[in-house]
């Protein structure tokens, strides 16, 4: 059988992280023949060494630098959409989504950042796939005695969180000790009151694993934590996390792509947005904003985003906190309001593409002149429409046309 799990690793430095993930898979008895690695890199990187590493590890995979990406676009007949994936940007994970969409044998995608390693306590790929309801993994885990009843049978309950601000801090556990909010969490939603209940564990289409060691914070919060090297002085451990959870419909959360698995079906609503190479100099919100759009689509379609396990260890390399601030600051005001623009949009649509098209309409045609750099939201909306067109060009007929359902509040 061909690989059915496409593992996307954007990297210009620490590509050797792949070794740790393959080793973790083998240690836990995960079938590595299911994995297809896609390393997204640049022409100035050690592409040949990356290919040799994949061969040495005995895993399937390809390495795409800028030249190979351009050749791939030409070969697949989508060269006109090359602008969707910025070079030398974390947002080039979107190339992995295009690759996944063009290879319909892949049922799952996994994003891994090159400054992470799997936490030793977790079966990394196995846990992600069990979160997504993969029957092969649930059966294997059940036979090995490693799963809970809900993992094994795909039934049972999971924690469901909501807050009076309609945003849930994914770092809410042990908040009294560390006081952290993750990158992308709106400042206006701070000091929220979180309510915890339970809901049926079903229909999960994305699995967000969290992180130990260096927390994923924005530059302002890193500065407030007293660090000028882009890392924050506070560190997280496994004891800072409880059991996995979902966020209630109509409520939002930050989605970080450094440790994330998803079903192929969400790709139309999961474009990693055009950052860094834009006239506004905006970066660092590609996965955050794509997570907002995905959550809205999931709410409309009755799907879930599971957050928590498996953990990874985040060993963020030192860099100037002020460089990150320069990339984030132009979009901080837009980040406060983006979710309000798409909240309630797309009700009645019956596909990810339909909901996404409605959100793209709201952004591309909206008047955001009252926000600093508000025109960037129009720019994002236009790229979202191009994203759907590109997917349809890659696999004609694969993206359902938007219905005539209402775009306004449902």
Query: Residue 387 in contact with residue 263, Cβ under 8 Å?
Result: no
In angstroms, the CA 57 to CA 340 distance is: 46
DSSP assignments along 136-198, one per residue: HHHHHHHHHT-S-HHHHHS-SEEEEEEETTSEE-TT-TTHHHH----TT--GGG-S--EEEEE
- What's the half-sphere exposure (Cβ side, CA atoms, 13 Å) at 218? 23
Q: What does the pLDDT read at residue 1?
A: 85
The reported pLDDT for the residue numbered 149 is 36
Q: Which pLDDT score is estimated for 202?
A: 87
Q: What is the pLDDT of residue 13?
A: 87
57, 187, 218, 348, 353 from 366: Cα distances, Å: 49, 23, 27, 21, 19
Q: What are the tokens at 220?
A: 């302002």
Mean pLDDT by 10 residues, the chain (410 residues): 96 95 97 98 96 98 98 98 94 97 95 97 97 93 58 68 98 97 98 97 96 98 96 96 97 98 98 96 97 98 98 95 97 98 96 97 98 98 98 92 44
Cβ atoms of 65 and 47 within 8 Å: the answer is yes
What is the model's pLDDT at position 142?
A: 81
Other beta carbons less than 10 A from residue 56's beta carbon: 10
Helices and strands (H and E) in the chain: how many: 14, 13
């Amino acid at each position: 059988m061909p690989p059915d799990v496409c593992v996307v690793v954007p990297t210009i430095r620490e590509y050797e992280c792949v070794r740790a993930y393959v080793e973790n898979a083998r240690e836990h008895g995960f079938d590595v023949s299911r994995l297809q690695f896609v390393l997204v890199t640049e022409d100035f990187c050690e592409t040949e060494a990356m290919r040799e590493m994949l061969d040495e590890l005995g895993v399937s995979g390809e390495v795409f630098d800028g030249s190979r990406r351009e050749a791939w676009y030409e070969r697949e007949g989508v060269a006109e959409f090359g602008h969707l994936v910025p070079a030398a940007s974390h947002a080039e994970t979107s190339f992995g989504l295009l690759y996944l969409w063009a290879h319909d044998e892949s049922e799952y995608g996994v994003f891994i950042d090159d400054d992470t390693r799997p936490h030793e306590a977790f079966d990394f790929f196995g846990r992600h796939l069990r979160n997504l309801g993969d029957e092969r993994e649930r059966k294997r885990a059940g036979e090995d005695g490693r799963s809970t009843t809900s993992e094994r049978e795909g039934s049972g309950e999971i924690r469901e969180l909501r807050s009076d601000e309609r945003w849930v801090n994914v770092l809410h556990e042990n908040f009294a000790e560390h006081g952290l909010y993750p990158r992308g969490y709106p400042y206006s939603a701070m000091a929220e009151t979180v309510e915890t209940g339970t809901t049926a564990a079903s229909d999960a289409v994305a699995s967000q694993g969290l992180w130990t060691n260096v927390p994923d914070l924005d530059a302002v919060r890193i500065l407030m934590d007293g660090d000028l090297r882009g890392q924050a002085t506070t560190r997280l451990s496994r004891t800072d996390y409880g059991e996995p959870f979902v966020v209630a419909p109509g409520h939002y959360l930050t989605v970080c792509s450094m440790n994330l698995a998803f079903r192929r079906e969400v790709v139309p609503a999961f474009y990693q947005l055009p950052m860094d190479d834009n006239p506004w100099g905006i970066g660092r919100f590609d996965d955050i904003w794509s997570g907002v759009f995905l959550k809205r689509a999931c709410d409309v379609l009755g799907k879930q985003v599971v957050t928590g396990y498996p953990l990874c260890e985040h060993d963020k390399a030192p860099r100037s906190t002020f460089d990150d601030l320069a990339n984030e600051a132009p979009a901080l005001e837009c980040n406060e309001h983006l979710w309000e623009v798409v909240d309630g949009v797309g009700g009645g649509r019956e596909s990810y593409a339909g909901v996404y098209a409605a959100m793209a309409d709201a952004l591309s045609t909206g008047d955001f002149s009252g926000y600093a750099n508000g025109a960037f939201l129009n720019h994002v909306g236009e790229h979202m429409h191009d994203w759907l067109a590109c997917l349809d060009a890659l696999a004609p007929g694969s993206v359902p046309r938007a219905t005539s359902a209402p775009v306004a509040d449902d």
